[in-house]
Amino acid sequence: MLFNSVNQHCLERIVELAETRTVEAAEDIYDERGMKLWAKGKPVSADLQEKLLRRKLAKPLETTLAVEGAVAFGDIASACMAHIEQNPLLARIATRDAIGLINGMRNVPLPQPLRLLLTTAHAKGSSSFKHAQTTVIICAGIAARLNATDHDAQLLLMAALVHDLGEMYINPDYLRDSYQLEPAEWKHVASHPRVGQLLIAELTTLPAAVGQCVAHHHERLDGSGYPNQVDRSGHSRLGSWLAVADSVGAILSRGDDGAALRASLALRIVPEEFDHDAVAVITQALRNGDDVFGTTPAGDFNARVQASCKRMNAAMAEAEALVARGPTPFVRHTATNALALLHNLLKSLRSTGVMEADSLGAANLDGELVAEINLVIREIEWRMRNLARNLHLRAEAQTEGSPLERIAPLIRALDGSGIPTTA
């Protein structure tokens, strides 16, 4: 089992929790050879951290610890109600039926390991815990509007609550908003959906459908997501709904001006990415004639548009060269898939009117339109960077033919690191 080896980053977070909350062994803790390491009832401390990191355990640590006042679903439901009252955008999504689905989860038991991890996240006041609440609310809105059964709604809301717990096992430096990951570093963050799925499978008795939703919450129907680039054929309906909710929640949680329009734009800019039914109900719920995109970003509008187009053209040229002359089937196939995704991005860019707006210049455009176009460019740039990261992941996993070396120019072009900013 993966979790019989103690994860340094998760343990550090639990030990930090123990500084302010009572966390103790719920049973004797043994290593794999039967040596007793920690007695039942003994509080967690830095001493435990020293002992555990050097050994493999007989049972996963998360199943042997208990925290006083651990988070339960009733606490989550109450927090969601408060969140809805405080956030008018979430109030647009949370219909009476959606609120009923959330309240219906109050008495649903949470597995003890998940309660420990959720309490750890909550105690730090982390944005991930607030994001989990937001995602639960949005999932409830989708499930209510699309008439999900009570059973499916319960699975979806459980998955929404725990979908990012895999991040507890990642170096926190990689999760900071201010830290821009290189493609080679992305594999650490990209692992969290799979870690979350394994956590559910190995440490709980929750249905496999919950774990599958968690595994796919960053996947996209066109195969552009991560960690495994699962396309439409491998997606479940509930997993595709969670992907929509997670994306919308990330935008709404930031509280930026024009968040509702930004969320709708992110869902619709590449129509092949997301479940159309879920997109339709969320964009309809968020729609309000008084919404605006917010202030126009500082900087040269035309220069940014031209730089993004130059970056996309360079990436397409690299991909086309690999399709034609790639030395192995893997390289040619990977480049073909990348080229198809780039064509989708180019189609989306053209459909937004960005090209025409660029020819007119920012001085001749309404400020609100300039703000919208800047958001379009930001979404396109993010998707190119995400594609670079995914290509690195796939190539690094191959052991024959040095594919990473072969596709490195394409990765650099997509990431923007190999394209000069001036002509």
> How far is it, in rounded angstroms, from Cα 122 to Cα 118?
6
- Cβ atoms of residues 32 and 55 within 8 Å: yes
- Cβ atoms of residues 62 and 117 within 8 Å: yes
> How far is it, in rounded angstroms, from Cα 378 to Cα 380?
5
Instruction: Report pLDDT digits (tens) over 356-388.
Output: 666 655 555 666 677 788 888 889 999 999 999
Average pLDDT over residues 129-134: 94
pLDDT tops 70 at residue 108: yes
What domains are there in the chain, each with its CATH number?
Answer: 2-67 (no CATH), 73-286 (1.10.3210.10), 301-415 (no CATH)
> How far is it, in rounded angstroms, from Cα 67 to Cα 114?
11
Instruction: Report pLDDT digits (tens) over 309-351.
Output: 899 999 999 999 999 999 999 999 999 999 999 999 999 888 8
pLDDT tops 50 at residue 205: yes
In the chain, % of residues over pLDDT 90: 70
- Cβ atoms of residues 24 and 65 within 8 Å: yes
pLDDT of residue 367: 64
- Cβ atoms of residues 352 and 269 within 8 Å: yes
Q: What is the mean pLDDT of the chain?
A: 89
pLDDT level of residue 421 (50, 70, 90 thresholds): very low
Nearest CA-CA partner of 84 in 27, 138, 20, 154? 138
pLDDT tops 70 at residue 26: yes
State the pTM of this model: 0.92
